Amino acid sequence: MSDLPRKAVTRTARLATLPLGFAGRATWGLGKRIVGESAEIVGRELQQRTAEQLFKVLGELKGGAMKFGQALSVFESALPEEVAGPYRAALTKLQEAAPPMPTRTVHAVLRERLGEDWQRLFLEFEEQPSAAASIGQVHRGVWHDGRAVAVKVQYPGAGEALLSDLTQLSRFARLLGPLIPGMDIKPLITELKDRVAEELDYGLEAEAQRTHAEEFSGDPDVVVPGVVHQCEQVLVTEWIDGVPLSEVIADGTPEQRDRAGQLLARFLFSGPARTGLLHADPHPGNFRLLPGGPRGADDWRLGVLDFGTVDRLPEGLPASIGESLRMTLDGDAEAVYDHLCAEGFVKESIELDPVAVLDYLLPIIEPARVDAFTFTRSWLRNQAASIADPRSPAHQLGRQLNLPPSYLLIHRVTLSTIGVLCQLGATVRLRDELESWLPGFVPEDEAYEEQEEAEAAEGA
């Protein structure tokens, strides 16, 4: 019924070409060394060839393989430029598209889920998909009431493919790790596996999208398309035009880059505060720049898509994040250390030097220490290289810190967003967003005074 390779043996065989390919290239690299080429040049060529094959296979397989590739793609900024450059285009393709499933398969799903006369629901339906991703693809259409819509159709067998791929990829985690310095691949794959059932449930996705669409209705900065219709394997939402963030990354003006970065940071921190949900899939394919922001036709708004993966945070982001960040900015090593111990970031069996912990955190929170910070690939590469270098104090200390399970998804979303900001090269007033939306970042007495002043100003 589908061109998505569903049988575990088929998909496993395709994924098994990855470590075999790695081994073959390692032999090739040894041969190059024997004939006299430098280790640096050989290593760079080896990494380029490995990455090219990795993302080609992941993109072709869709399912969990492509999901992993999309999650990995936002960390491209952490790679050395001479390695990242040759396959940046392949990463961008993973963010936006994958080979489509046949028209007959799309029609079969729509017929099964919407009824034999499904075509009567649409005034128009484009057979060619406008986007294809890890578990489904999107077709543009016109609903029977005249609204332009996006029709998301889930691949048959997507659940089986997701679990099979991610299980197989977890076995290769140590081989894949060197592609992103300083990043432990296995927890990323485990977390993706934990979210499989939720992402396959279009009912949960529709609920999360409705919540966002209602909260951000009329918002001057953020646009979330409303849900038109939902059933198993099919989700119909309002269509929004705009410039994909991947295009802004490739060819955007400085003004577009900065505006996109500011709005992305604003959505990251304001979303949980306003909806109790954290959009947990922040790769560029899920965002658009739309003209017509609060400053007129030359301004921009941020369109947000795909609510298949969210973190449910009824109280918003944990206040402990804002409190520890504020203490770190204040340079209070003892307070930071005590707070991290209380929250489980330092296990009871381990004792660390509070000053060393503060020194470890300060470079990471640099964007929050200034009024405006320019996120760059070189800055992120330096951060990643420091953490990845086994000889560095940062590497040694980082291995001793613990990430409590409740913070895993928040941590990944934050890192992914920073990766996108670095791809944009955006200058962002991050501190403004933290003060406005992050619980605990502004001390309670100061926050209360600011609220009173704001209410008095409104009354006047």
pLDDT value at position 327? 95
Of the chain, the end-to-end C-alpha distance in Å amounts to 66
Q: How far apart are CA 204 and CA 198, in angstroms?
A: 7
Q: What residues of the chain score a pLDDT lower than 50?
A: 1-9, 11, 15-16, 18-46, 87, 95-97, 182, 448
Contact 221, 293 (CB under 8 A): yes
- Give every CB contact of residue 153 below 8 A, 6+ residues apart in sequence: 106, 109, 110, 136, 137, 138, 139, 233, 234
CA-CA-CA-CA dihedral for 359, 361, 366, 371, to nearest 10:
-100
Output the pLDDT for position 62: 52
What is d(CA 289, CA 429) in angstroms, rounded to the nearest whole number?
A: 18
CA distance 263 to 297: 17
The pLDDT of residue 460 is 53
50 vs 25: CA distance, rounded Å: 8
In this structure, is the dihedral angle defined by the CA atoms of residues 135, 139, 143 and 146, taken in order, positive or negative? Answer: positive
Alpha-carbon torsion (92, 95, 236, 221), positive or negative: negative
Q: Give the separation between CA 77 and CA 259, rounded to whole angstroms.
A: 19
The model's pLDDT over 42-64, given as tens digits with 9 standing for 90+, comes to 344 445 555 555 555 555 555 55
Task: Give, as one character, the DSSP assignment of residue 219.
Answer: -
